[in-house]
Amino acid sequence: MPHDQELKLLPHGPSFRFIHSVTDLDPGVSAVGTYDISGDEAFLEGHFPNHPMWPGVIMIEAIAQLGGVAAQSDPDQERLNDMRLTSVKNAKILGTATPGATLEIEVKVEGRLGNLIQISGSVSVQDGEKIASSIVMLSGS
Residues 99, 37: contact at Cβ < 8 Å?
yes
Known catalytic membership, residue 47: yes
Q: Which of 3, 12, 20, 47 is catalytic?
A: 47
CB atoms within 10 A of CB 86: 14
Q: Counting beta carbons within 10 angstroms of the beta carbon of residue 71, is it exposed (0 to 12), middle (13 to 18) or buried (19 or more)? A: buried
- Residue 5 identity: Q
User: For 71, how many CA atoms within 13 A lie in the half-sphere containing its CB?
Assistant: 32
As annotated, the active-site residues are 47
